[in-house]
Amino acid sequence: VAALTESSTEVPSKCFHTSEGDLPLVKIRVSGYSFRCQNERLGARVRRVLSLFADLLSLFGAPAYQEWLATTDDPEVIKELIREVHLQMLPEHGFKLDRTMPVSQIYRVQLRMHAFVKAGMVSADIAEKGALTSHLAGTQKMEALRQARRKARPAPGHASRRPSTAEVRAFVDSLKAAVKAEVEAVVAALINSPEQLCAEDDQ
């Protein structure tokens, strides 16, 4: 089958499976071809993925988020931080998500988001943005802390204070407001000083 390249070539009958039972595994390898452009639906998906990454990176990459991430040693706090950022940002990108949903339902929406993003990673550049988003969110640190906790025995009577859901929510709210204010300030500066924008374009 892999050798058939002409649309007019008839596929041999031995390539078809007609008996009952489990279907065999079929792998078709195509080489020497490349797509020169994206169709409209794929292009729209890629644009949505890039827009989502841009917004997530603006929060996960904020200094305040990275400072909190650096000081926590509780994987559940990191998980709640990531979930709160998703609750704030995903609805703006077409994902139905709100705080009234059970945690299990929120998790399913997060899985759908990950599947959607994965289907839009059609280039190394987009994949790098996805890896950076995951890294800045603290996913790797969260998993490392979980592994360490499974191996280590907790010291008796030792428990670090875990911030409440309200505290995490207030933190992400302030983070989003700060990022928005920074963007608005940059836009206002460019509007008030168009010659600066032209100078940057000339460089």
Q: Give the integer Cα–Cα distance in Å for 165 and 152.
A: 26
* Structure-token pair, residue 102: 């059970």
| pLDDT band (50, 70, 90) for residue 49 | very high
- Least confident interval from 28-42, 68-82, 140-154, 167-181: 28-42
What percentage of the chain reaches a pLDDT higher than 90?
42
Instruction: Write the DSSP assignment of 35-56 as a string of letters.
Output: -SS--HHHHHHHHHHHHHHHHH
CA distances (Å), origin 33, targets 29, 30, 36: 11, 7, 10
Q: What pLDDT is stored for residue 1 in this prediction?
A: 45
Question: Cβ distance 81 to 169 under 8 Å?
Answer: no
Question: Cβ distance 89 to 17 under 8 Å?
Answer: no
Q: Give the integer Cα–Cα distance in Å for 57 and 128.
A: 12
Reduced to 3 states (helix: H, G, I; strand: E, B; else coil), residue 200 is helix
96 Cβ contact list (under 8 Å, min separation 6): 109
73-96 per-residue burial string, b: 16 or more CB within 10 A, e: under 16 = ebbebbebbbbbbbbbbbeeeebe
- Least confident interval from 71-75, 135-139, 155-159: 155-159
Q: What pLDDT is stored for residue 2 in this prediction?
A: 47
Q: Give the integer Cα–Cα distance in Å for 56 and 62.
A: 10
Cβ atoms within 10 A of the Cβ of 121, count?
Answer: 16
Cβ atoms within 10 A of the Cβ of 137, count?
Answer: 22
